[in-house]
Structure formats: structure tokens, C-alpha cells
Chains A and B, each alone.
Chain A
Amino acid sequence: MGITLTNVSYTYQAGTPFEGRALFDITTTIESGSYTAFIGHTGSGKSTIMQLLNGLNLPTSGTVFVDDQFELTSESKNKEIKPLRKKVGLVFQFPESQIFDETVLKDVAFGPQNFGVSSEEAQAIAKEKLRLVGLDEALFEKNPFDLSGGQLRRVAIAGILAMEPEVLVLDEPTAGLDPKGRKELMSLFKQLHETGLTIVLVTHLMDDVADYADAVRVLEKGQLVLAGSPKDVFQQVDFLEEKQLGVPKITKLAYGLKQKGYPFESLPITIEEFVKEVGRG
């Protein structure tokens, strides 16, 4: 399921003295089945874009097309948007703060039930998704507030997956997790991507972008400044450093070596590539 933004602008609290423009004339496409990463500074408009993708925010001007089915403009009505919310699942930053039900299972089943799935069916889906995110069966009937932070994060993500979305939008899904938890979650998303899910990742971690994504969009002050594959984007070390975004650690190392005279054909962005390049030379 692909999403296309054409000339999208977004202004917060338009028409009041407090209005602030967050996005300027963005045109870009998130290909169906891709793993697209959005990077940029805090306040560059990443999260605003995220909420445009499933109609939580409507563009102030311009249009968001989701496949050929949905066309979001400033005039779209809530009734038309609701089916879109099921197709584009949004995992907010620190999603564990949205959990409210008495048991883990009920909370995960909450999403599908809102879209008309019967309670038994929803519970069956919930069980399946909880197993998918790697949560122990013994915890299914527990009160979510007894769980640890890492487990809660999984429950929250399972809650979104239970709606069986075709696009999964993740806003810094690994913020505040330990390295092991981070790695486990990132490989879960990779595995989901391989089963055909379109993934949109908003992150500050360039290493994750290099390791997992197949397309990158760079935002700066509400404008799209760079787009392409991670390999192409991360070649522009000086540009990214100047924008204070940085590049993967290994790319930075290679860049330093190149300046000292090591003949890289192109800068490697993952450790595997680096090893291959160095081994070859």
C-alpha cells in the first residue's frame, strides 16, 4: 500500500495568533512494500508528516493519496477517514502510555473491536499478535500496569498490529530501550517488512536507517531537503554533518579514512559493506 504526498503543507492552529507552519510544500512517495525512513531534527516536521499519513492531521493545502482509495485534503470528513486508520497503523513515541484496559489481551483486542471485529475474533487476533511480538503467554491475562517498560512497549505495538494494517508507521519505536530490546524490536519490524508490510520509520538513529531502511527522506525545518536510498543519501557526509544529522558511525570512519587516502569507491554504510570493501582493497 503506497502513500503519495503532493504539495502538502501543514499549519498548526491556522487562523489564530499562535499559528505555526510545520510543513512546506512536501511532495514525496512512500512506495508500496518499502521500508522508508524519515530523518531530521527535532521540530523538523517528522511527526507531523506521520500524523498526515492516516488522517489524524489533514493537510492545510495539498493532497495525500493512499493507494487509489483515499484522497485526503483539508476538506476530508472523519467518516471517510476511519477505514484508513485501520490500514495505516501508527505507533506513537512511547506507545506504552496509551494502554488502559484491565488485561493485556483486552487492550490489544481494543483496536480491532473499534473497527467492528467481534470480541472473540479480536481476542484470537490479539493472542496471535502478542506471540508475534514475543510476549510470554503467562502475561496475557495480567494487568498491563504490572508489566515492565519493555514488555509494555511490545503490548502497545501488538495493539497496533492487531488492527492488521498494511502500512506500519513507527515514531522512534526504540527510544528509551536497552540495546538488546532495541535489536529485538528492530528485527521484529524487519521480519514484518519481509512478510509484505510497508514500514515508515521516524528515527534519529542513522545506524538503524543504514541497517534496515531501503529509502530515506531527510527533513529540515518543514522542508524535504534530500531523498533517495540510504546508500546515496549517506554519501553526502558534509551536507548531513552541516545539518547536524550525522551519518552512520561506520560511514564516518570510512570518510575519515578516505580523507587520509584510502581509496573507497563509495562510502560503506554498514559494517558488512565496510568489511567487504576493506577486504577487497
Chain B
Amino acid sequence: MVVDKLILGRYIPGNSIIHRLDPRSKLLAMLIFILIIFWANNLITNLIMLIFTLAVVLLSRISLSFFFNGLKPMIGIILFTTLFQVFFTSGGETLFSWGFIQVTDYGLGQAALIFMRFVLIIFISTLLTLTTMPLSLADAVESLLKPLEVIKVPAHEIGLMLSLSLRFVPTLMDDTTRIMNAQRARGVDFGEGNLIQKIKSIIPILIPLFASSFKRADALAIAMEARGYQGGDSRTKYRKLSWKRADSLTILILILLGICLFFLKTS
């Protein structure tokens, strides 16, 4: 199945420097990275970003093939956007033109830039999910949202929902396969016929899936209450996140990188 091949969101156990970082620092670092990559708009800044990304990827000691697999599902979008840039950007010296399509040196530059950004952002976000357990990622989100509680953002609830949904993704996938098989045994053909027939054949999976999700949610809520869950106030934590020196260093490096880019970018 397609789902099995999706590398996005898979965790690969390991014990590299990147694996051991606090999920909060990794999440923050990725956000900073995505923000500053838009400052990289000439050769030298792009080179810096590329070297930085490759260095981090190598530090994780995960084989590069995983990262290229992460690119695969996005390759269509990347090529589409890049080609769009190549063919429809005006300005600069025209190298080639045919009807309304024209290739300019400016357009080529823009396309290369977009391509680079896509690849680097995908590499870095794949790195985050490959080296961080989904549950600690949920913890990190909760912890990072904590300060926003002042403006009434329900940080604990968001974190709880995140970790519950992550926990139930595989369960729901199993449910889906089971229900699909049961309906196939009743003579449903999935993925055959015209578009309307295809959509219709989804109903016998969707409704039971929703129904069982409701039931599951109900049972889970009751079980949680029975075990004394009353919400986020005055709860202690089993998995404690600990911010170490390496984490501060990571953020510092990214800020320095950002400053570098800010001064080296062409305005």
C-alpha cells in the first residue's frame, strides 16, 4: 500500500547528537531554519545553507536514501513550480523564446532558488521526524505553547489531542484495512469504475470508520475519567523534557546563521 511507503512521519531509532537533542530545540530550530531560508537569495548564502543542511544530515547518521525517499512524494510539486518559474518569469536577458513562453537568465536563477528552498526545507523537516519520536514531538508542542496560556491558548489540551491522534493513527489504519476487506468480501470493488463509482465505493468504508471512531472516543474518554483525569491543572509529567547545553547551542548556531544570511543577502 502507498501508506507503507510514506517516509514522512516515520521515526528511525538512533543515538546520534541530533537524536539526543531536546525535541523543543529541534522544533524551534526547524522553524528558524524555514524563516531564514528566505533570506538566502544569492549563490553564497545558498551555499552556506546547503553546507549547513548536509552537515546536520550527516550528523544524524541516517542514510541519505531516506531523505531522497522523503523527496519522492513531493517531486511533482517541486518540478511543477520550478518549471513554472523557468518558463513564465520575465525580466533579465531573454535566452530563448517561443510564443508566450520565454526563458530568461533571471527566470532560471529564480527557478534554481525555489528548487533549492524546497529541497532544503523537505530535508530539514524529514530530519526532524526521522530523529524525533512522535510522542516527544507532541510534548514539545505542548511545552512551546505553554507561554501562550496567558492569552488563553489551551496548550495542554492541544498537546493531549496531538499525542492521542498520533497514538491512534496506526490503529485507525488497521481499522481501515479490516473494514475494506470486509466490504470487499461483500462484493465492493475499490478503485474501479468511473469517478462517481469510485467515490460511492468509499462510503461503505467511511461511515463504519467514523462510527467506530466515535465509539472509540467515547470509550477512551470514560476510561480516562475512570483513571482520574481531570484536565491539565496540577498534572505531573512522566516524560520530562530537559533542555541541555547542546540545545542552547543549536538555537545559537541557527541565530548566527540567520545573522550571517541577513548581511550576505542581496537586497
- Chain B residue at minimal CB-CB distance from A86: B187
Is there an interface contact between B187 and A82, defined as CB atoms closer than 8 Å?
Answer: yes
Beta-carbon contact of B208 and A18 below 8 Å: no
Interface 1/0 per residue, A9-22 and B, CB below 8 Å: 00001001010000
Residues of chain B lying within 8 A (CB to CB) of residue A239: none
| Across-interface contacts of A16 in B (CB, < 8 A) | 4
Query: Does B185 count as interface, using CB distance less than 8 angstroms?
Result: yes
Return the contact of A98 from the options B179, B187, B203 (Cβ within 8 A): B179
Contact among A18, A51, A98 with B186 in the assembled complex (CB-CB below 8 Å): A98
Contact with A along B176-188 (1 / 0, CB 8 A): 0011011111111
Determine the chain A residues whose CB is within 8 A of the CB of B181 once the complex forms.
Answer: 51, 56, 92
Q: Across the interface, which residues of A come within 8 angstroms of B151, CB to CB? A: none
Q: Which of A13, A18, A89, A100 contacts B185 (CB 8 A)?
A: A89
Q: Does B91 contact A (CB under 8 A)?
A: no
Q: Is B2 an interface residue (CB 8 A)?
A: no
Check B208 against A163 for contact (C-beta < 8 Å). no
Stretch from A68-76, A109-117, A206-214 forming part of the interface with B: A109-117
A173–B184 Cα distance when bound, in Å, is: 19
Query: Is B183 in contact with A98, judged by CB distance below 8 angstroms?
Result: yes
| Residues A92 and B185 in contact, CB atoms below 8 Å apart | yes
> Is the CB of A99 closer than 8 A to any CB of chain B?
yes
CA–CA, A86 and B186, complex, Å: 8
Report the interface size class on chain B.
20 to 34
Q: Which chain A positions have C-beta within 8 A of B55?
A: none
Q: Does any Cβ of A come within 8 Å of B232's Cβ?
A: no
Q: How far is the CB of A22 from chain B (nearest CB, A)?
A: 14
Say whether A82 contacts B182, CB under 8 Å. Answer: no
CB distance from A222 to the nearest CB of B (A): 19
**A54 touching B185, Cβ below 8 Å:** yes
Residues of A within 8 A of B4 (CB): 13, 16, 18
Contacts of A99 in B (CB 8 A): 208
Tell me the interface secondary structure of chain B in the complex: helix
In this assembly, does A85 line the interface, its C-beta being within 8 Å of a C-beta of chain B? yes
Contact for A114 among B175, B178, B187, B211, CB less than 8 A: B187
Question: Is A145 engaged at the interface, CB distance under 8 Å to the other chain?
Answer: yes
Partner of B187, one of A18, A92, A111: A111
Give chain A residues whose Cβ lies under 8 Å from the Cβ of B212. 97
Residue contact B187 to A163, C-beta cutoff 8 Å: yes
Question: Could you tell me the distance between the alpha carbons of A92 and B186 in the complex, rounded to whole angstroms?
Answer: 11
**Shortest Cβ distance from B210 into A: residue:** A100
Given contacts A13-B4, A100-B203, A100-B208, contact A85 B179 (CB under 8 A): no
Cβ of A159 within 8 Å of any chain B Cβ, yes or no, is yes
Cβ of B204 within 8 Å of any chain A Cβ, yes or no, is yes
Cβ contact within 8 Å between A85 and B178: no
Q: Which residues of A contact B218 (CB under 8 A)?
A: none
**Known contacts A92-B178, A100-B203, A110-B204; is A160 also within 8 Å of B186 by CB?**
yes
Does residue A259 face the partner (Cβ distance < 8 Å to B)?
Answer: no
Please report the C-alpha to C-alpha distance between residue A18 and residue B183 in the assembled complex, in whole angstroms: 26
In angstroms, how far is the closest chain B Cβ from the Cβ of A130? 16
Q: Once the chains are docked, how many angstroms separate the CA of A56 from the CA of B183?
A: 10
Residue from B187, B206, B211 in contact with A85 in the complex, judged by beta carbons closer than 8 Å: B187
Known contacts A97-B179, A98-B179, A100-B203, A90 near B185 by CB under 8 Å: yes
Give the residue among A16, A100, A145 with the most B Cβ atoms within 10 A: A100
Q: A163 to nearest B CB, angstroms?
A: 7
**Could you give, for residues 114-136 of chain A, a 1 whenever the CB lies within 8 Å of some chain B CB and a 0 otherwise?**
11000000000000000000000
Encode contact with B along A229-268: 1 for CB under 8 Å, 0 otherwise: 0000000000000000000000000000000000000000
| Contact between A163 and B182, CB atoms less than 8 A apart | no
Check A97 against B185 for contact (C-beta < 8 Å). Answer: no
Whole-angstrom distance from the CB of B3 to the nearest CB of chain A? 11
* CB of B25 to closest CB in A, whole Å: 30
B35 at interface by CB-CB < 8 Å = no
Bound form: Cα–Cα A56–B208 in Å: 19
Residue-wise interface mask of B (194-236) relative to A, using a CB-CB cutoff of 8 A (1 in contact, 0 not): 0000000001101110011000000000000000000000000
* Residue of B with least CB distance to A96: B208
Of chain A, the residue at the smallest CB distance from B191 is: A78
Known A16-B4, A18-B4, A100-B204; contact A145-B185, beta-carbon cutoff 8 A: no
With an 8 A cutoff between CB atoms, is A95 at the interface? yes
B157 in contact (CB, < 8 A): no
Known: A85-B187, A111-B186, A159-B186. 18 other contacts (CB 8 A): A78-B189, A78-B192, A82-B189, A85-B185, A85-B186, A89-B185, A92-B181, A95-B182, A97-B208, A97-B211, A97-B212, A98-B182, A98-B204, A100-B203, A100-B207, A100-B211, A114-B187, A145-B211
Q: Which 3 A-B pairs have the closest CB atoms?
A: A114-B187, A100-B207, A98-B182
